[in-house]
Amino acid sequence: MKKFTSVKDVENIDQLVLEALVQKKYPFANKELGKNKTLGLVFLNPSLRTRLSTQRAAQNLGMNVMVMNLDKEGWSIETKDGAIMDGSAAEHIKEAAAVIGQYCDIIGVRSFPKLQNREEDYSDEVLNKFLKYAGVPLISLESATLHPFQSLADLITITEVWNSKPKTVNRKPKVVLTWAPHPKILPQAVPNSFSEWMLRANVDFVITHPEGYELNPQFTSLPFEGRSGAVKIIYNQDEALKNADFVYAKNWSSYKEYGKILSQDRNWTITNKKMSLTNNGKFMHCLPVRRNVVVADEVLDGPNSIVIQQAKNRICSAQVVLKKILENLK
Ligand code: SN0
């Protein structure tokens, strides 16, 4: 593997999940692989799970790690080509990325969208300029449009839980991604990414959201090799939740009316009553989560919540990808 910015960088996702589960079982089996190699993690936005799990994964592989909160600790960065830099930005991304590339063997970058201009956000400028100028393999720690490590951890978790069921269950799991209310304007990266991974996974995938929250069709309706393609979108949440094996809740702001909050409807909050419509479904969320807005305490604290297992799987998700990139460096 040369980079990890989307599911498209993965040759075989089922194989990657199996290898991740091997990394989870034997976390120190490859601790010589990363010897004398350095991972640089560059954050332009806050992080808890991504920062710590990626660091832990790199350490398990014997790597050194450097972390920089570029937004708070670095020079303020200019990203536009041809900019006349007589304002507040002191350094252009061309030099910043190239210099960090001199210090690191692999670079991870987190950069959220501004949610003001759709074209600008969907050009994923920071990620793509790091790709262009860093000169070393790049991993996305959540870009303006995608969060591939999260989606890989989600698929690992679904696989683990589903495979632990008695072998008499011989069908695909039904996975429902549901929009949920939130007080703030949030990116579409997590749902975009979850959708593009679920489209390629061996699951029945449904998305439910109020009208106007349709995601960029680029991530929900791509037809491709061997699998059928389009995501089922159901606007009635109760109907969508029927017989779900996994309920993945997440808020996002509108893609159509870009960056807008179109609904704050608390009828979309995931409660025990909503979960009772499912097939004893498991509750998932990428975290951080707003309790009693996105999901009721009773669900999050209940026996069917697998959010902590999901967060734990961020380690083997990052570790399997770093392992594949390190193997390719040699
Ligand atoms: C981010 C998002 O993309 O939705 C990161 C998720 C992994 N979440 C938030 O920014 C939540 C912020 C909040 O105030 O709840």
290 lines ligand 1 (CB under 6 A): yes
Distances (CA, A) of 301 to 53, 55, 153, 216, 238: 23, 28, 21, 33, 22
Which of 43, 185, 186 best tests ligand 1's pocket when mutated (most atoms within 8 Å of CB)?
186
The predicted structure's pLDDT at residue 169: 73
The predicted structure's pLDDT at residue 225: 55
Is the pLDDT score of 11 beyond 90? yes
The predicted structure's pLDDT at residue 75: 95
Mean pLDDT in residue range 109-138:
98
249 lines ligand 1 (CB under 6 A): no
Closest atom, ligand 1, to C-alpha of 252: 4
47 lines ligand 1 (CB under 6 A): no
DSSP run (H or E) holding 145: none
The predicted structure's pLDDT at residue 227: 56
Contact 141, 107 (CB under 8 A): no
187 lines ligand 1 (CB under 6 A): yes
Mean pLDDT in residue range 223-237:
77
Q: Is the pTM above the cut of 0.95?
A: yes
Closest atom, ligand 1, to C-alpha of 45: 10
Residues 71 and 68: their CA atoms lie apart, in Å, by 9
Q: Is the peptide bond before 288 cis (omega within 30 degrees of 0)?
A: yes
Residues 49 and 314: their CA atoms lie apart, in Å, by 7
Q: Which residue's C-alpha comes closest to atom 14 of ligand 1?
A: 184
184 lines ligand 1 (CB under 6 A): yes
